[in-house]
């Protein structure tokens, strides 16, 4: 088979041209990075696990009417997706304080928030994806007011879905990050959930023990990352057989 044309290589994924116009292939690598790639490792099997978990979440979202870029999983490490123009924002939804929010506001990790809080970061690795306000987003034209209304609605629907799915298997969804893509149908633009949803981009804590089952295991040297992701995949019943 002809080698796919690479469009972009990121820290954890490679994007290739898809087989048909308007499609891309998303390849999940085993590379793990944290702190803007200052900490790096290769975690055998992580790409396979994330491909499966991402498929599980994206299929579920598509089924409940939350549009995503996901079309189908192609093999152990690749999925076929709609190509879209990525809005240059990382959209973070938080249910409990953790990570940068805990640092910024002096909140103990695990403190339940009064309601889900949505934050926006400007996607720029060289700047470390800084937190921005809707004022910045409007002033710099990164998204329109209508886009922001749609992004908020998508983010909260993803939060409801993911929180429920995780709750069902004894896991608390602390927070997560999604990216949003634009797809065009003539002059008409639609926003869809793009990129990935996986334990790389969520915080997941066991409801009973508080054990971390997400990328913080790698960021904070808390144990074996593949074991943590395997635990999530097993509970959800999406455990791949081999890597
Ligand atoms: O680091 P912080 O607390 O801001 O992260 C919030 C959530 O967003 C976490 O689940 C983290 O994994 C995710 N995130 C991400 N990619 C980034 C920044 C944060 O997936 N570049």
ipTM: 0.99
Q: Please name the CATH architecture into which domain 6-82 falls.
A: 2-Layer Sandwich (3.30)
Nearest atom within ligand 1 for CA of residue 101: 3
3-class state of residue 125 by DSSP: helix
Per-residue pLDDT band for 240 (boundaries 50, 70, 90) equals: low
Quick check: 243 pLDDT over 50? no
**What distance in Å separates the CA atoms of residue 50 and residue 6, rounded to the nearest whole number?**
20
Give me ligand 1 centre to Cα 173, in Å.
13
CATH 3.30.470.20 in the chain, residue ranges:
85-224
Ligand 1 neighbourhood includes 159 CB (under 6 angstroms): no
Q: pLDDT digits over 10-45, tens only?
A: 999 999 999 999 999 999 999 999 998 999 999 999
Q: Tokens 């994206």, residue?
A: 58
pTM above 0.90?
yes
DSSP 77-102: SEEEEE--EEPSEEEEEEEE--HHHH
Ligand 1 neighbourhood includes 202 CB (under 6 angstroms): yes
Nearest atom within ligand 1 for CA of residue 129: 21
Q: What angle do CA 217, 31, 74 make, to 5 degrees?
A: 110
Residue 187: phi and psi, rounded to 5, are -85, -10
Residue nearest to atom 11 of ligand 1 (CA): 201
Nearest atom within ligand 1 for CA of residue 176: 10
Class of domain 85-224: alpha beta
Ligand 1 neighbourhood includes 212 CB (under 6 angstroms): no
Query: Dihedral of CA 94/158/210/121: which sign?
Result: negative
Q: Residue 2: what pLDDT? A: 60
Distance (Å) of CA 241 to CA 52, 85, 97, 115, 191: 11, 34, 35, 38, 34
């Amino acid at each position: 088979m002809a080698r796919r044309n690479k469009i972009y290589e990121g820290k954890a994924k490679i994007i290739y041209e898809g087989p048909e116009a308007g499609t891309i292939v998303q390849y999940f690598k085993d590379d793990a990075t944290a702190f803007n790639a200052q900490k790096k490792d290769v975690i055998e099997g992580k790409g396979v696990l994330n491909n499966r978990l991402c498929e599980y979440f994206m299929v579920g979202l598509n089924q409940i009417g939350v549009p995503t870029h996901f079309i189908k999983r192609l093999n152990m490490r690749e999925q076929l997706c709609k190509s879209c123009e990525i809005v240059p924002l990382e959209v973070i939804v938080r249910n409990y304080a953790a990570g940068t929010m805990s640092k910024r506001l002096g909140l103990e990790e695990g403190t339940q928030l009064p309601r889900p809080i949505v934050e926006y970061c400007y996607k720029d690795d060289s700047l470390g994806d800084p937190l921005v306000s809707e004022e910045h987003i409007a002033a710099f034209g990164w998204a329109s007011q209508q886009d922001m209304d749609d992004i908020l609605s998508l983010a909260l629907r993803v939060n409801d879905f993911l929180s429920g799915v995780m709750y069902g298997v004894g896991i608390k969804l602390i927070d997560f990050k999604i990216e949003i893509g634009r797809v065009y149908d003539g002059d008409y633009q639609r926003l869809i959930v793009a990129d990935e949803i996986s334990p790389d981009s969520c915080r997941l804590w066991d409801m009973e023990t508080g054990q971390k089952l997400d990328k913080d295991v790698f960021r904070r040297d808390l144990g074996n990352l593949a074991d943590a992701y395997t635990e999530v995949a097993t509970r959800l019943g999406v455990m791949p057989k081999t890597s």
